[in-house]
Amino acid sequence: MTKPWRVDVLECRGSSYDVGKQMADAFLKTTRGRAYARRKERRPFAFSLRNAEAALKTWAPNVWEELHGLASGLKIPLERAVAEYSNARLRYPPRGCSAVMSAGLYGRNYDYDVGHYDRILVAVQPKGVHASIGFSDRFTGRLDGMNEHGLCVGLHQVSQAASRPGLVCILIVRIVLDQCATTREAVTLLRRIPHGQSFNYSLIDAGGSAAVVEASPAAVVVREGEQLGCSNHFLSPSQQAFNRRNPGSYRHLPALEKFARERLAADRLFKALNDSLSPVFDHRYTTGSGTMHTIVCTPAERLMQIGVGGDATPSNIDFSSWVRGRPLGLDALTGQLGGTAKPFDPGRRVIVKPEGPAKAFIGTRLDNALFRDVTLANASFANVSLAGAKFDDIDFSNTVITSNCNFNGMQIAGVGVRELLAAYAQRRPEEQA
């Protein structure tokens, strides 16, 4: 069975406390919310309520107030709400994201793990900060969004390897939406705040000013331009030491930059990003990097096209009308993960990550399995079907391939194995001579 996809849409107005309380009340009415009481508490290592309070009161006092309302609505202690839903140092699974800033538009795909995605689009209008609409992460955080001034921002994970004390990505996006009206203001803020991890932040405002902020715990570098693409690695030479091995990010960026140069209209940009056969649409749901949602914003008009899954028919949101008091007119966004070309089936693929020294696969059907970040050195395969399997970042040292192997259709780096073997067979007599 394939995986249909639903994202709840919430609308919250009032004080920051009211916003937190309304979000909790609305969440508890959803299917996932009704199961919330069974959720175990997730307390990050060495969590300090005092330190969290100090950080939030310094950088996001409205979020501190919002957490009180959230705790009240969820009927949990404030300490738990702060630990799980603020600047807590919880580890984030790897995520991949793509963005295009061009011709006054902001287009973005968000790629992530199915099990960790909040599935909430929220519009908030708290007193004292800017109104905004964006995808929630842990209630108070945002993955991306647009505010009432037309400023758009999204996060792009680069690496967690050099984490330091500082603010986490989802809180940083929320602070930008709450406090900044232009790209210049956002860049100034992103230069000031302490970054806990290495992330890109893509930005564009209502005037069409765009930037990519490469932020690591050590430095912040800004790339500006009229036609920008952004994925999950740093381009600045001084920041490249923070890049992790991420072939998908390097593969996506040229296509994103091509879309930017083409200056596509909003509907064409949405299709270019959300088409399930697009070079930037990601189907790696089982490894935590499948495309969850696509947004295309027209900041000057405060308009947003939004779709979830792939090959979506976008919903159109006039955010300026919502700010003036009109409802969004949406209870939920629905779609199909993977789209129509390759719909995601949770039971279709196996992720092979053998633990310990045992690497023997005998008489096993591993059709369509995905081998990723696995060491298969000295592994033994006997009477195994690997039809349709994919190998990504695998160590094959000392592997021996014997006879009786069917290589029909198999490719290595895009080249057919049968062609490689045929070419080698022709060269071998020459080498021996």
Q: Is residue 61 part of a domain?
A: no
The answer to whether residues 155 and 288 belong to one domain is yes
Residue 223 has a pLDDT of 96
Write down the pTM of the prediction.
0.79
Q: Pick the last residue of a domain from 310, 336, 362.
A: 336
Residue 378 has a pLDDT of 58
The answer to whether residues 412 and 276 belong to one domain is no
pLDDT tens column, 114-123: 888 999 999 9
The answer to whether residues 313 and 388 belong to one domain is no
Residue 364 has a pLDDT of 47
Q: Pick the last residue of a domain from 301, 336, 371.
A: 336
CB-CB contact of 174 with 140 (8 Å): yes
Q: Pick the last residue of a domain from 336, 360, 382.
A: 336
Residue 393 has a pLDDT of 57
Domain tally, the chain: 2
Residue 38 has a pLDDT of 75
pLDDT tens column, 118-169: 999 999 999 999 999 999 999 999 999 999 999 999 999 998 777 788 899 9
The answer to whether residues 329 and 366 belong to one domain is no
Query: Which residue, 300, 299, 301, 297, is CA-closest to 315?
Result: 297
Low-confidence ranges of the chain (pLDDT < 70): 1-2, 44-45, 88-94, 346-388, 390, 392-404, 413-414, 424, 426-433
- Quote the tokens at residue 419: 């062609």
Residue 358 has a pLDDT of 44
Q: Is residue 259 part of a domain?
A: yes
182's CB contacts (< 8 A; 6+ apart) are 149, 151, 205, 206, 207, 209
Q: Is residue 247 part of a domain?
A: yes
The answer to whether residues 364 and 330 belong to one domain is no
The answer to whether residues 274 and 359 belong to one domain is no
The answer to whether residues 287 and 428 belong to one domain is no
Dist CA 406 CA 55 (whole Å):
59
The answer to whether residues 286 and 387 belong to one domain is no
The answer to whether residues 270 and 412 belong to one domain is no
Query: Which residue, 141, 227, 224, 149, is CA-closest to 187?
Result: 224
Q: Is residue 71 part of a domain?
A: no
- Which CATH number does the domain housing residue 163 bear? 3.60.60.10
The answer to whether residues 219 and 123 belong to one domain is yes
The answer to whether residues 405 and 331 belong to one domain is no
The answer to whether residues 327 and 359 belong to one domain is no
Residue span of the structural domain in which 394 resides: 351-432
